[in-house]
Structure 1
Amino acid sequence: MSFFQTEEQKEYINKLELAIASFSEREQELDESRSFPYQNIRELKDFGYTALTLPKEYGGRGGTLYDFLLGQELIASKSGSTALSIGWHLGGIMEINERKNWNSEVKEELMKNVAKGALVNRAATEPKTGSPTRGGRPETTAILEGSSYIITGRKTFTSLSPMLDYFIVSAWVPKDESIGWFLIHRDSAGVSIEETWDVISMQGTGSHDLVMDSVKVDTKYYVENQTKRSAKGAPWLLHIPACYIGIAAAARDYSVSFAKTYTPNSLPGPIAELPNVQRLIGEMDLELLQARHFLYSVAEKWEQQPKEHEKLTVDLAAVKTSITNSAIKIVDMAMRIAGAQSLQRKSPLQRFYRDVRAGLHNPPMDDAVISLLAKTALSEE
């Protein structure tokens, strides 16, 4: 089923698909060597995808949330780690421009560089605080000295770190007794990347540690104060479920192809003719349809009903939890169709299986979403 809203969207996604045709061919080698997909990111830059959500006034495409999700799902079906990585960059650009709480001079400086190909991501997670969504205070500090802040600390899970040009770093600001966010360039003295990323899922995101050793930052790059941030929803975080449903769709496609072509000598035809295999295929497609409808309907409502944004914040959270769990179910069913062959290292299914599990640990977490839904229901009059 097509989820395109316009012919322009369809044309853009079709062109993107041609531009990333080689992504899936590289995945096996990248996974085995545990390498970062440098070439994938360069090809996305060349296509102009890294400026998809950048407003036209800065030289970007001015893509909508819906455009963004379509692109993310497609890329994830070819390379999950590439999609998740670039999703943080594009989502961050969308967030900055929608919140409109940055100094205009600094914002324009960053956006013009993004138009030239610069990449940016937030760095918030720390070893002792865990997920920033849990409310822990960062141990990274920003001490005011004259007209500059001196920032010292370590951030984990810094996705896209091998190619990032800018980091938006959270730090405790003693002067304000609150959390602040600072824009830091990769080439700043005292900034380094420590290659610590050693996981079985999403290895290609290059989510290494960002280390800051007395990094000097001009006061104008103190871009946000946590206490002054609005409590608006975060629709750009839908890039997370879009990524995982893209991986699940790839697993679905692979298993259906396998079922059509695999004929053991105990059967007169391919396993696709078996009722139990057909049942699994049908259940996969039902799960996939439900997930896609949920994702794109909420994105469409967010765009078309701005007065309902406050109510839709619950939906945004629910989409992530529902879809990431659906993705896990779909990949599991795909592996049941392929049987033990799905566990072979040469099979992409074992990679899909490992990668979709990572979705459980991206924000918002399942327990927080379920609690939010319950509290919302109990607050109804």
Structure 2
Amino acid sequence: MIMSFFQSAEQKKYIEKLEQAIQSFPERSEALDESKGFPFENIQELKDFGYPILTLAKEFGGQGGSLYDFLLAQEKIAEYCGPTALGIGWHVGTVLSLTEKRPWKKEVMEEFFKEVSKGSLVNTAASEAGTGSPTRGGRPETTAIKKGDQWILNGRKTFTTLSPVLDIFLVTAWVTDEEQMGTFLVHRGIQGVTIEETWDMISMQGTGSHDLILNEVSLPEKYYVMQKEPGKRIPEAWLLHIPACYLGIATAARNYAIEFAKTYSPNSLPGPIRDLPNVQRTIGEIELELAEARHFLYSVAGKWETQPENHGELSKELGAVKLSVVNKSITIVDKAMRVVGAKSLQRTNPLQRYYRDVRAGLHNPPMDDATITTLAKSVLY
């Protein structure tokens, strides 16, 4: 049994109900990977369960879930389907951030929350081919130009995760009149918004991270929702959903390896391979790394919630958690494959999918090199 990190009986009950609701996810995963499709059924079942409103404030019809609740749920969903977890995580995390900060004008903020309460899904569209990861500070090539009382957006966004089912895009663009970056709320159904299916990766195929194309998209003034203050970066604890996701994938690999070790008995041995010292050592290493990763993730999440006065000091640990947990998750999957052996490379074996999917975590923000540099500068200057 894996050590519990529940803070309350209510939390435990919620995750147990969620686990029952996602029982069908694993059986769809192989077909999803082979078809390069999108988990429409999984997303609908999560909607039916009410998961997309987990972090929406109760005053707007949500469940008022915390960061800690969110991470527990993300880890569990990823154990059953990594791409589904990563995809829905961007929506639930975005809602958590906006619920906590309320950074837009009240009218638009309440309109947005109402749409989410009725089932709308949202994600930020920030990445572009010409700028790379938005965390690197590149200037968007997508432009926003004021014409009369409307904003006109043109550009192409890459890695728009969950795009087949998104209703709202939060688009970053260069506001030419102001010489600064801004964020615009764009509804899927308006003229000039299209999705081009470009996602063709060996990892996380089911996230539907296609290109968003904006062609003369006209928006009213109120949907210019946020300006970015130059040089100011706000710590975003909700991004811990990324390591939580890859930890869930690692847990799935761990579970498979343990069951295999208990049941696989070649005729060269008197019993199952679990009796072999080298297998026991590898499984023991997996258990240690899994425990270390969980303690780091949930310790920082718990402190973030209970010690708001220490957010400045804790902010550098957010990146450290992502780096540590993702890299431990990669190692855990690798060791699980060593236990199982060559069978782990069969196309029908889920371990080869976990192996491909878990490596995608290296390319989610923040990047390892940036985290290491931040940690170094925090003590050197």
Q: TM-score normalized by structure 1?
A: 0.98
Q: CA deviation at 1:233?
A: 1.3
Displacement of 1:97 after TM fit?
A: 2.1
247, 260, 263: which one aligns with 2:262: 260
Find the counterpart in structure 2 of residue 326 from structure 1.
328
Query: SS of 2:55's equivalent?
Result: coil
The match for 1:355 is 357
Write out per-residue CA displacement over residues 179-235 of structure 1, whole angstroms, 9 at most, x where no aligned residue.
000000000100000000000000000000000000001110001101179643100
Inter-partner Cα distance in structure 1 for 2:329 and 2:262: 22
Task: Flag the 1:170–1:151 CA change in 2: closer, same or farther, 3 A.
Answer: same
Task: State how far apart, in whole Å, the 1-side matches of 2:127 and 2:147 are.
Answer: 25
**CA deviation vs aligned residue, 1:140-194 (integer Å, no higher than 9, x gap):** 0000001110000000000000000000000000111100000000001000000
- Contact preservation (8 Å) 2:78, 2:249: yes
Aligned partner of 2:293 in structure 1 is 291
Aligned to 2:23: 21
* Counterparts of 2:133 and 2:345, CA distance in 1: 31
SS in 2 for 1:264: coil
Q: Which amino acid aligns with 1:329?
A: T
User: What are the Cα deviations for residues 282-303 of structure 1, in whole angstroms up to 9, with x where unaligned?
Assistant: 0000000000000000000000
The separation in 2 between residues aligned to 1:122 and 1:43, in whole angstroms, is 23
| Residue pairs, 1:106-121, within 5 angstroms | 106-121=108-123
Secondary structure of the 1:161 match is coil
Aligned partner of 2:258: which letter?
V
Shift of 1:100: 2.3
User: For residue 135 of structure 1, what is the amino acid of its counterpart?
Assistant: G
Partner of 2:59: 57
- Where does 1:86-105 land on structure 2 (aligned, <5 Å)? 86-105=88-107
Q: 1:163 aligns with which of 158, 162, 165?
A: 165
Q: Is the contact between residue 66 and residue 299 of structure 1 (CA under 8 Å) also seen in structure 2?
A: yes
Residue aligning to 2:234? 232
Q: Is the 8 A contact 2:102 2:109 kept in 1?
A: no
Paired amino acid for 2:43: I
Q: Which residue of 2 aligns with 1:378?
A: 380
- Tell me which residue corresponds to 1:208: 210
Measure, in 1, the Cα distance between the counterparts of 2:102 and 2:57.
Answer: 12
User: How do residues 176-215 of structure 1 correspond to structure 2 at under 5 angstroms?
Assistant: 176-215=178-217
Indicate the percent of aligned positions where both proteins have the same amino acid. 64
Equivalent residue for 2:10?
Answer: 8
- SS of aligned partner of 2:340: helix
What's the Cα RMSD here? 0.9
- 2:307 aligns with 305
Equivalent position SS for 2:200: coil
Structure 2: distance between partners of 1:180 and 1:243: 29
Q: Give the letter aligned to residue 290 of structure 1.
A: E
2:341 alignment partner in structure 1: 339
1:149/1:219 contact within 8 Å kept: yes
Matches of 2:194 and 2:173 in 1, distance apart?
17
1:110-166 C-alpha deviation (Å, 9 max, x unpaired): 111111110000000001100000011000000000111000000000000000000
Instruction: Provide the C-alpha distance between the structure 2 equivalents of 1:89 and 1:323, rounded to a whole number of angstroms.
Output: 21
Mapped to 2, the partners of 1:111 and 1:248 lie a distance apart of: 34
The match for 1:41 is 43
Which shows bigger deviation, 151-160 or 100-109? Answer: 100-109
Runs of 4+ in 1 over 4 A off after TM superposition: none
Alignment match, 1:317: 319
151, 174, 177: which one aligns with 1:172: 174
The aligned length equals 379
- Secondary structure, in 3 states, of the residue corresponding to 1:162? coil
State how far apart, in whole Å, the 1-side matches of 2:252 and 2:28 are: 15
Q: Which runs of 5+ in 2 are unaligned?
A: none
Tell me, in whole angstroms, the C-alpha distance in 1 between the residues paired with 2:339 and 2:32. 25
1:95 to partner: Cα distance: 1.4
Deviations 1:216-260 (A, max 9, x none): 011100011011796431000000000000000000000000011
Distance 1:371 1:64 in 2: 30
Q: Which residue does the alignment assign to 2:368?
A: 366
- CA-to-aligned-CA distance 1:266-288 (integer Å, 9 cap, x gap): 11111111000000000000000
Whether the 8 Å contact between 2:123 and 2:170 is mirrored in structure 1 is: yes
8 Å CA contact 1:241, 1:320 repeated in 2: yes
Conserved? CA contact 1:232–1:310, under 8 Å: no
* Matching of residues 103-142 of structure 1 within 5 Å: 103-142=105-144
Q: Secondary structure of 2:229's partner?
A: helix
Q: How does 1:148-159 map to 2 (within 5 A)?
A: 148-159=150-161
The AA in structure 2 aligned to 1:139 is E
Give 1:160's aligned amino acid.
L
Q: Per the alignment, in what secondary structure is the counterpart of residue 337 of structure 1?
A: helix
Q: Which amino acid aligns with 2:9?
A: E
Q: Secondary structure at the match of 2:225?
A: strand
